């Protein structure tokens, strides 16, 4: 039975949900996969770089009772605290990983769509230190997928990211269950925030009301503009193209238009006509084999596979050479759904070591 040291870079709502799920699934992981775990590092803007190789107390982490810059205040034993008390606290990601003796790093910081930083550097540092990396940050795939994949292979580590797109196990599905299947095209609704806003507008409320509703549900990016202007959907589209279609598409090659320009009357009329607006992402190979991608508002007919996406629900329809219409739907995903993507990647990353 091996105990893995886990480090959390970013510890917001998703991080808290993951810690709770780890606790809930501990017995199953121990009995079915021979996996034990302890949290040895947490890093946030507010608290700084916190590390204790002996382990941090889960209850204290969930309650937020840790002091900025402390490397020992959450350790499970007074002996650990005493042994760390005279050591200087980590001041950067590489020092932090070393102090925590990290086996698996969860990179769950906020999305920065234009460069993917500092998440890309975080992942690079963790792989170079010998840790597996599990991320929910889409920017790492869009801006550095091939580099980080090659680095992981060279170091004998895993770089996994099932929690990045639509709260569905899309990447592991293709990796494990669809060998030799060629993806020709996909269409999807990848952003919950815009779905909530459009439905609020259909009910006669304002765009701003919709944003507030989405924020109350906890589905928006830190900056809601990333949702409503189509950045979040474009980044997810770019990630799918890069990984599943093996095409080096950059974010600026995706035609992108959000939902700000939609007229409220038009939104209500479209719903009344049975063809509501949705923010749709699409990508396909053209006659020359190049991948063309777009994100924008489209009207969806009732018999369209994407019509299954209501409220916060998300859906993807794939066109493959052997499966012309494979559709995945996540009905009302939440923080627990995202946390499960991280948990499953953790298990898959380390199961060969137990």
Is 266 a residue whose pLDDT tops 90? yes
Q: Is 315 left (phi over 0), alpha (psi -120 to 50) or beta?
A: beta
* Residue range(s) defining the domain that contains residue 189: 174-332
Residues 80 and 154 in one domain: yes
Residues 241 and 341 in one domain: no
Domain containing residue 147: CATH number: 3.40.50.720
Percentages of the chain per state (helix, strand, coil), in multiples of 5: 45, 20, 35
Residues 196 and 277 in one domain: yes
Q: 250 CB contacts (<8 Å, ≥6 apart)?
A: 142, 238
Residues 125 and 223 in one domain: no
Give the pLDDT confidence score for residue 219 in this predicted structure: 86
Residues 291 and 156 in one domain: no
Phi, psi angles (nearest 5°) of residue 330: -110, 105
Query: Exposed/middle/buried for 59, CB within 10 Å: 0-12, 13-18, 19+?
Result: exposed
With beta carbons less than 8 A apart as the criterion, state whether 282 and 243 touch: no
Residues 216-243 have pLDDT tens digits of 988 888 889 999 999 999 999 999 999 9
Is 30 a residue whose pLDDT tops 50? yes
* Chain position carrying tokens 């815009």: 194
Q: How far apart are CA 302 and CA 300, in angstroms?
A: 7
Which residues are part of the catalytic machinery?
A: 236
Please give the residue that has the higher pLDDT: either 65 or 286. 286
Give the pLDDT confidence score for residue 66 in this predicted structure: 61
Q: How far apart are CA 182 and CA 319, in angstroms?
A: 9
Residues 178 and 41 in one domain: no
Residues 255 and 270 in one domain: yes
Q: How many domains does the chain have?
A: 2
Q: Could you say which DSSP state residue 182 is in? A: P
Query: Exposed/middle/buried for 32, CB within 10 Å: 0-12, 13-18, 19+?
Result: exposed
Residues 123 and 149 in one domain: yes
Share of the chain above pLDDT 90, in %: 82
Residues 280 and 186 in one domain: yes
Give the pLDDT confidence score for residue 306 in this predicted structure: 96
Peptide bond into 31 cis (omega under 30): no
Cα 159 versus chain centre, distance:
13
Q: Could you say which DSSP state residue 350 is in? A: H
The average pLDDT across 247-274 equals 96
Q: Which residues pair with 316 in a beta bridge?
A: 188, 328
Nearest residue to 136 (alpha-carbon basis) of 1, 299, 338, 311: 338
Give the pLDDT confidence score for residue 238 in this predicted structure: 97
Give the pLDDT confidence score for residue 88 in this predicted structure: 58
With beta carbons less than 8 A apart as the criterion, state whether 99 and 93 touch: no
Residues 129 and 240 in one domain: no
Give the pLDDT confidence score for residue 354 in this predicted structure: 86
The average pLDDT across 57-65 equals 88
Q: Give the lowest-confidence range in 74-83, 93-102, 136-145, 310-319.
A: 74-83
pLDDT band of 160, cuts 50, 70, 90: very high
Is 78 a residue whose pLDDT tops 60? no
Residues 21 and 103 in one domain: yes
Residues 186-221 have pLDDT tens digits of 999 999 999 999 999 999 999 999 999 999 988 888
Domain containing residue 216: CATH number: 3.30.360.10
């Amino acid at each position: 039975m091996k105990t893995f040291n886990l480090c959390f870079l970013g510890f917001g709502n998703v991080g808290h949900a993951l810690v709770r799920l780890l606790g809930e699934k501990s017995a199953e992981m121990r009995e079915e996969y021979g996996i034990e775990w302890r949290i040895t590092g947490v890093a946030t803007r507010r608290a700084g770089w916190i590390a204790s190789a002996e382990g941090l107390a889960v209850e204290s982490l969930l309650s937020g009772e840790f002091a900025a810059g402390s490397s020992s205040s959450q350790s499970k034993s007074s002996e650990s605290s005493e042994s760390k008390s005279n050591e200087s606290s980590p001041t950067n990601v590489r020092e932090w990983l070393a102090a925590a003796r990290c086996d698996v790093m969860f990179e769950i910081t906020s999305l920065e769509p234009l460069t993917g930083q500092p998440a890309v550097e975080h992942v690079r540092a963790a792989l170079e230190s010998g840790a597996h990396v599990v991320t929910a940050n889409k920017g790492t795939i869009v801006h550095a997928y091939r580099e980080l994949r090659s680095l992981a292979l060279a170091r004998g580590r895993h770089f996994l990211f099932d929690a990045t797109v639509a709260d569905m196990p899309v990447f592991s599905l293709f990796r494990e269950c669809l060998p030799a299947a060629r993806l020709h095209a996909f269409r999807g609704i990848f952003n919950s925030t815009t779905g909530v806003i459009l439905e609020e507008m259909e009910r006669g409320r304002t765009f701003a009301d919709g944003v507030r509703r989405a924020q109350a549900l906890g589905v928006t990016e830190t900056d809601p503009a990333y949702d409503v202007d189509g950045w979040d959907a474009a980044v997810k589209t770019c990630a799918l193209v890069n990984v599943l279609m093996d095409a080096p598409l950059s974010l600026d090659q995706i035609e992108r238009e959000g939902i700000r320009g939609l007229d409220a009357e038009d939104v209500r009329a479209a719903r009344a006509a049975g063809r509501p607006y949705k923010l749709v992402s699409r990508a396909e190979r053209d006659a020359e084999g190049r991948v063309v991608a777009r994100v924008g508002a489209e009207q969806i007919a009732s018999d369209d596979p994407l019509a299954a996406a209501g409220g916060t629900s998300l859906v993807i329809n794939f066109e493959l050479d052997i499966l012309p219409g494979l559709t995945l739907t996540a009905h009302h995903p939440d923080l627990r759904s995202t946390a499960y993507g991280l948990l499953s990647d953790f298990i898959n990353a380390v199961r060969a070591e137990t």
